[in-house]
Structure 1
Amino acid sequence: MQEKGEMANNGNSKDRNPKKANLMDPHSIKHLLDESVTEIVASRGYVEDVRMSNIRLFMGTIIVIIALVAQFYPKKFPENRNFLIGCIILYIVLNGLLQLIIFTKEKNAIVFTYALPGSFNSTGLVVSSKLPRFSDMYTLSIASADPKSVSARKPVEFTKSVTQWFTKDGILVEGLFWKDVDGLINQYTGEYRKNK
């Protein structure tokens, strides 16, 4: 069997610096794995759908503008009481709506995609991940961006220990990770083939 270091060189990391994470920081590990998943999905020809991110950015900008207008309104407190109350109510409502969108639509999503160009499938992917606190078990799942669509496929996922993809120094063994993620995408798209 090959060493992890050799497998890293057999992945798709030609002439790049190795990706390294702080193994004592689960957020660092998850962030690195999530970024790598996004790269793998993009390499398969999927184009990222940034509409949800744009909606969040737009709402966040409106919330910041409301806060700035309330802060720098030219009248002093007793005179601007009703205006401030309106700003506070609007701020709370928009913030609540933003949190609702994040909680119901995004959940643990890493990336949303459009359907593959030229494919018969009319729906893209939602790729999600979880790495629970105090756990080394990373769960990656792929589902349809529109589960009610006729072309939606059954969601797939795997759960594996992150120790399988990192060396002792915290370097991601991209070849191994790429193989696992690519296999999951193949399983979702129906290109899954059994080993001979």
Structure 2
Amino acid sequence: MECGAKSTQLIPRPVTHMLRLTRLARSFVQPTRTRRCVYTTTTNSLSNDAEVFGNYNIILPEEPFVFGVSHIQPLRPISSHIKRPSYASVPPTEEPKGNGKIELGGEEEAKLRDAARLARNVREFAGLLVKVGVTTGAIDKEVHEYIVSHSAYPSPLRYLGFPKSCCTSVNNIVVHGIPDERVDTSRFH
């Protein structure tokens, strides 16, 4: 883009805070410099950019809000024959083994493909459970039972202390939500 040219982008070309400070400092150090490049956009305010994303309301839990995790049910049982990852014991008893690489065409690749196939099936199964009125806690229970019935360990369970077998997000909450029995009743009208 040439100096003085206007951009048709909604958001101007990203320039870090430090880069702006460096340019500002150079303009004071080199007073003989007469030409400065300033990038502008065709929009004059961020309010025009906000319209692109639509309108939404912040979702807050019902009062009285329960702080902490005391409302979360205890961990679901897992049969002793199912192999557990090192992080499943509290505190972890061993460091992860291996270098994170697998040899293609061997037994490790076959295991990875089986795990990926089961992950796809679990995702499809969980998708069938998502309906109006079904809590994330109920989805977690069914997903947990489905995974365990296939002699597998639900990876989110106990990972960095996570207490459930799947992560859920409701509506515009972009987090790894902990499933529970509360029902989100927010709506767009």
Structure that is richer in helix per residue:
1
| Structure with more contact order per residue of length (Cα contacts < 8 Å, sep ≥ 6) | 1
Tell me the TM-score normalized by structure 2.
Answer: 0.25
TM-score scaled to structure 1, two decimals? 0.24
Structure with higher strand content: 1
Give 1 or 2 for the bigger CA radius of gyration: 2
